[in-house]
Structure formats: structure tokens, C-alpha cells
Structure 1
């Protein structure tokens, strides 16, 4: 989820990391409209029938009264959708589970709401079962499950502490990755960062603090971290830098939890051009003590999702902080940003890695990648109005946070549309929740 507009100041290693680039062909395209709302549960507090009252800063109880925009660094383009909302927005697709539900539908996750702990106390946390139909171009939401903590498993005070059902909100956690195994849901959180274990009905079973090299990791939004706090000393996880990807390894029951951004060193600066990956044993409900490193390529600042495709190989979404078609980039030095993108998308990739190929420093081997800004569409699968005027199909969104293997030839992706703060596809229009099916047999076969 978009949090602030500053670019991550991180020195990226040169692409002496040169790796093979594989072709990608668009095989399907479906959309869940940006303005898709669900009602809260019947037993939820009545104030949760309106969401986003704090997203614009000061409290605002007047529905649909403050227009969303992309922020000054991205041209301040209005998105056509105003806050607060009547109901809870389904926006923010932030993770696909590798294993599907028994009916073949996909578990997918909505994140914390409006991008920050302080502005999301009225955003409920939930996951879904969804079924994209690439023939019709539509996405069906089959079920929405709200996370709740009636057994008081969360180790800190939550926004709905005194209610009976204790529904979780974006002031409690920022869920960004999801897995389904043996009838249980596992969710990776950015604030703690924590791993949450829940039933398929959304009831929290346990909450696990992150351990790395014998020490607990914390971020600026972890309960117990108070201002003033020294980056690199009081906390090492960057804001919005927790578990963006959490892959479930087939046959082992291990969760490979990958941070979105580099950890901070003792000087308060990113420790390097790599992301930490810790493994968690779901059978023992504890950390294994093993950790690895994923090296970012030149121009990348973060990852968006992480999922295995077999026992050792996995897909990682790698991205920069840009959004929008580079063909519509603003001219250098120009002052009118109303019809162009000040920070267009430049690095949006799906990287294939092999976790069995780590080196002596723990770096996971990168095999190759596909470029999400260069997707062939010879069959005209892009939905009307969503293909660039010239060139190949692109997926130019700020946060692309969902990837999973569909079969031996295809993968599926979706974006987090940060409603109502991101555009990316069309200037002046909020980004929809787009699902794309890509034919990538060469990538999936690469070793």
C-alpha cells in the first residue's frame, strides 16, 4: 500500500546481476472495479459502516466529500473517487495464496486500508475467495472473511478492544501476504512485522513476532516503539517495510517471509541492496533460525509478492516506486503535470529464483525475469481502453502485489490500487483491481 511519496534512498547494485529476460504474452485480462464496497459484519460496531474518515488528515464524517488524488509527487491527479466511503472498500489486492480453495477459487488479501496505522482505524481487515473469469473480463468475489480476535490472541490493545467480536482494523495490522495450508490461513503483516495464524472463518489463532539472529525485529509502527525512536537502534524495519511477500514452500510447511524493503543498519541507513528472508515452521509455529537474502536489481526499491512454483523455485515481484506509462512521462523541468506522469513506471518485473541455490552469504539465486512493461498481446486480450495507444501491453501500477503460478505455462498477477490514491492506467481515474493471465512457459521452465 502506498505510504508516503518519498523514494527509498537505497544504493542498488549494478546489473552486473545481468540475467535472462524471458518473453511474456497476455493470455487474459479481468477487472474488479475500483469502487467495490462490502458491508461490515452485522455485529461490527456501527461506526464501521463508514470508512476512510481519517484518511485525509482531520476527521471527516461526510461521505464522499473529499476527492482522492495521487499526491504532489505523482502530479496530484484527481482519481474521481471521494472519501469517506459508505461501507468497506475491497481495494488493495495484496497477496495470492499458492494453494487454492477446494472449489478452485483464489484466496486473496485486502491490506490495511488507507496506507498508514494512524489513518485506518475504521478500515476492517479481511481476505477473500475470488474467481477471475478471463473469458468475460470480470472478477467474482465469492466470499469475504473478516479477521477478528475474540480469544484475545493479539498481544497488544486493538482498536476494537472492548467489543465482543474484536474485529481487526488497519490501526492494528497491515496484512500484505497470505497462504492457505491444511485448513488454516497464514498472513504476513508489515507493522510488526508479525505472522498471523487464523481459521478460514477469520478467527485469530496466534500471532508471532519476528525473530532474526536471536533478536526481535521491530518497525516504527510496532507496538512498544515510541517517539522519539532512533532508526537502526530502536527499530530496524522501515515503515511499510514488513512482510510484503510470504511464500509457502511445498512439502516442507515452511513460510519464507520476505521483507518489502532493506533493513536499517546501526547508522539508520539501509544495510544494503538486499531484502531479508526468514523461514517459519508452521508445524512448530516457530522460526527456524535460518535467514536468506534477495538481492534487488538496479532501479528496484521493493518487492510486491513471493510465491513458490515447485519445491525450490519461486516467483518474486520486483518494483520501483513509479506509476504510469513512460510514454506519457512529464517533460523534464515542466511545471504542468496535469496530463503526464512525473514518476512513470520503469522497473516492474516478475523474477524467478531458486531457493536451493544460495551462496555463502545467503543470497538466493536469481534465474531470470519477465518485464511487466513489455507484454506482447498479439491476440488482443487487453480489455477495451486499457491498452497503451502504442507498443506492447504494460502493467504500470505503483504497487503490483500479487503473483501465483496457474499451470505449467501461465501465471496470474494483480495490482494493489491504493484506493483512492493511485492511478497508473489512466490519468484522472482511480486504478481498478486488474487481474492478468500471462503465458510464460519459458520462464516457468527455466532452471
Structure 2
């Protein structure tokens, strides 16, 4: 199906959607922002923002740095070496690159909702940064931090700091996961609604747009108005943490293509299939176009992390499983401090061709690179990996959520470190916010 918004995409193709090749990747640069990087909230923010993470336990806790962080039951509850609550706001959780850069050449990068849920993040502020990784020094330089605020009351529901004059947004209001700049607006994909949010360059909310698909509004368990009495698959169809993890800006059309993180739920409450919906939104018209396609997940993959075009029709998608840590240190018995109970296995950057979609709506996967098998012949890795191998670099993290094309031969990838809960590179240390430059000429040239 084609229209004036979408001249190149969704041409029917017979090629199988899973046919693809794995291309080599070489580490060309490695930089990181230390995990425990904290910042003061704005002067006009509520005093509640001075200590963040007060609600990450079963009861409120106002004693700074008093509770050890751990990796949670899925990953063996290993201690990460950092304690909650934090003094200030954590500058953490990179969760999306914008394709269009800031005027000084720095990259817009989004930080997600704080500590992972509505319930535990009402004192964490929502913001995006412009940042510049220095691969010569290994530092990630944050140029500017922009806090989101809604003084004009564009959000149609009560926010955490509703009664304040500044009306800064928190992780209990929205779960930000993807970002693009279009002209003088920043567009952000949210998982709670799921919604698209438009803001000014200084973070002032201009509008909020619910998701419309086939004539119906898609909702999730955290959408305003959904309650314990709402019926799964009927009243809401988007899985928790399954909204817009990726949102790509298509060159030539300036359409935003928003990709779900997880499969939608059918009427019976079960996933409709091992694929993700991708929906088109026209920021000029402030409306959904009705165009869409499906991205088929590889075997073992459970979600995606980011999505960005590299030209008019080809795009990069991060797909992943829920594992973290090197497979060589997989626990053989009960989870322990010296092993990973669920190590990382499926961590890919996939190249897709949106001009090649089959009769069932599945986009063609051209090829991929394996983020667990990156060559490092020049020893550019700056952090030793527990269980790793000399000459091989990996990204053994639960959530890898940022990818973009840098030039004809390089891409940049970054992680969301889920501070202070993830520790994929080390058994007993919270993950840093790593940014890597990868040489992948064969992947970027593939058609």
C-alpha cells in the first residue's frame, strides 16, 4: 500500500523476511560515562528532586545511599556496588539517538524514565542531552541537559508535580524511550501510553498524541484510565514496557516510524506473534498516516532497543534478548556472585529494507552484526570484561538501546545501564553508560 507520504516503502516483495547474512564488526572507538554520574536538579524543581530513588523499595526511604542495588531475581540478585537513594539526579540510561544533530554537532540522546516503572520513579526527572563521545580520551562529554516540563498542561492526566509552577515531568508520568529532532521540535516516543510527545528544543511540551492503529487507540496497562478491572487484549493491547522503544525519522518524507518494543496482544491476551508493529506518524500533520509494517524478531530475541534510518529506505534496528553477562560465565547451578544465570546471547544490529515488504507485511532483514562478537585487534576496549576473550569485544548488556549511522563505514551504539540494577560487563559492578564506534562497511553497503 502506497501513498504520497510513503513513496518508497511497502512495495510487495517475495523474498523471505528472515534471509540474511551476519557481517563482521570491528571496534573503532570506546567511551563511557561512569555509572555513578549525578547532577543537581534545576533550581526551580521541587525539593523532592534533591534525592532520587526514594521509592525503589517496598516502602519510602529518604536515607541517601542506604540500600544496596542488585541485579534482580532474573539475574541472580548480584550486588552492583551502588546504593540507593541517590543524592541528586542520575545522568544515566541512554535510550535513543536522534538522527539529526544539534547545531554544534553533538548527538541528542534520550534518558529513560528513571528506575523502570511508574511506581518507583516519581522523584526522577525526565530529560534529554546533547552529548559528544571522545573516542581518543574515552570520555563522554555532556554538552547540555534539557529537562521536560509541561507548564501549558498539554498532558491530559495528572502528573507527579502537578501543583508546582514549573511542572517538571518525572518517571511516573512518562517512560521515554526514543527521540528525534524535526526542525525546532523534539519528538519523543513513550511506552506508558504509548504516546508521541512533541516538545520545544528547551523541553516545553507542545503536544501529546495517542497511538491510533486501524481506527482504534492502542493502550497499555499504564495508560491513564486503565485499571485492574480493565480487560487485557480488549481494553489494552500494548504490553507493559512494550511501547515505542524505537522511532526512526525517514529521510525524504520526514515521517516518524515508531516501533513497538514487544509484540501487541491479541484479543485473547496473548502476543499476536513473534513480530513488532511499526507505525507511521506525520509530524507536519500531527497525525498517524495509517501506514505500517512488521519487523520479525530473530529466534531468541524478545525486544528491540533502537531504530534509525541510514538512507531513504534502509534502517538499523537493535534486537536483543533479556540476558546480561558473558556466556562463558553462565551459572551451572544455583545463581551465585561469580556467574551469570541468564547470560547475553542475542544482541544484534539488524539492517532492514523498508522498500521490501512481503505480502504479509513483513519487512526484509538484509543482514546483521553480532554485538557479542566484535573484533578488537587494536585493543581499543577500555573496560575489562569478566569472562571475555583477548581480541574479542562484546556488549553483554541487558538493554542496548541506541544506534545510528556515523558515516559510510561506521555506526555508533550505546547502552541503557538501568542504574543501579545492571552489571553485564562486570559480575559485581554497575554498568557504565558505554558508547562504542563500530567499523561495519559491509553491513552499511549491503542491499
Per the normalisation by structure 1, the TM-score is 0.95
Equivalent residues of 1:106, 1:129 under 8 A apart: yes
* Partner residue, 2:284: 283
* Partner residue, 2:360: 361
Equivalent residues of 2:308, 2:316 under 8 A apart: yes
Matches within 5 A, 1:192-211: 192-211=193-212
Relative to structure 2, which stretch is displaced further, 278-287 or 356-365?
356-365
Cα deviations across residues 90-149 of structure 1 (Å, max 9, x unaligned)?
A: 111000001111111000011000000111000100000000000001101111000000
| 2:65 partner SS | coil
* Partner residue, 1:398: 398
| 2:304 partner SS | strand
Is structure 2 residue 73 aligned with structure 1 residue 50?
no
Cα deviations across residues 242-266 of structure 1 (Å, max 9, x unaligned)?
A: 0000000012110000000000011
Distance 2:335 2:314 in 1: 46
Equivalent residues of 1:57, 1:119 under 8 A apart: no
* Partner residue, 1:98: 99
Residues 384, 116 of structure 1: alpha-carbon distance in 2 compared, 3 angstrom cutoff:
closer
Cα deviations across residues 65-100 of structure 1 (Å, max 9, x unaligned)?
A: 000000122111100111001111011100000111
Is structure 2 residue 319 aligned with structure 1 residue 303?
no
* Partner residue, 1:430: 430
Distance 1:185 1:16 in 2: 32
* Partner residue, 1:326: 327
Residues 164, 205 of structure 1: alpha-carbon distance in 2 compared, 3 angstrom cutoff:
same
| 2:228 partner SS | coil
Q: Which runs of 5+ in 2 are unaligned?
A: 1-15
Residue 162 of structure 1, CA deviation: 1.0
Is structure 2 residue 114 aligned with structure 1 residue 119?
no
* Partner residue, 1:138: 139
Residues 160, 389 of structure 1: alpha-carbon distance in 2 compared, 3 angstrom cutoff:
same
Matches within 5 A, 1:234-253: 234-253=235-254
Distance 1:324 1:255 in 2: 33
Distance 2:94 2:277 in 1: 23
* Partner residue, 1:190: 191
Per the normalisation by structure 2, the TM-score is 0.95
Residue 336 of structure 1, CA deviation: 4.9
* Partner residue, 2:20: 19
Distance 1:180 1:311 in 2: 17
Distance 2:383 2:373 in 1: 18
* Partner residue, 2:377: 378
Distance 2:158 2:292 in 1: 30
* Partner residue, 2:3: none
| 1:149 partner SS | coil
Cα deviations across residues 280-307 of structure 1 (Å, max 9, x unaligned)?
A: 0011011001111101011100000000
| 1:17 partner SS | coil
Cα deviations across residues 413-440 of structure 1 (Å, max 9, x unaligned)?
A: 0000000010000011000000000000
| 1:356 partner SS | strand
* Partner residue, 2:227: 226
Distance 1:319 1:335 in 2: 24
Residue 16 of structure 1, CA deviation: 8.9
* Partner residue, 2:445: 445
Q: CA RMSD in A?
A: 1.2
Equivalent residues of 2:377, 2:391 under 8 A apart: no
Residue 362 of structure 1, CA deviation: 1.5
Equivalent residues of 2:17, 2:363 under 8 A apart: no
- In the alignment of these two chains, the number of paired residues is 431
Equivalent residues of 2:17, 2:296 under 8 A apart: no
Distance 1:243 1:129 in 2: 21
| 1:62 partner SS | coil
Residue 157 of structure 1, CA deviation: 0.9
Equivalent residues of 2:82, 2:420 under 8 A apart: yes
Cα deviations across residues 14-67 of structure 1 (Å, max 9, x unaligned)?
A: x99241000000000001000011111111111111100001221000000000
Q: Which runs of 5+ in 1 are unaligned?
A: 1-14
* Partner residue, 2:346: 347
* Partner residue, 1:170: 171
Is structure 2 residue 217 aligned with structure 1 residue 216?
yes
What stretches of structure 1 move > 3 A for 4+ residues in a row? none
Distance 1:35 1:57 in 2: 23
Distance 1:216 1:112 in 2: 23
Distance 1:142 1:394 in 2: 28
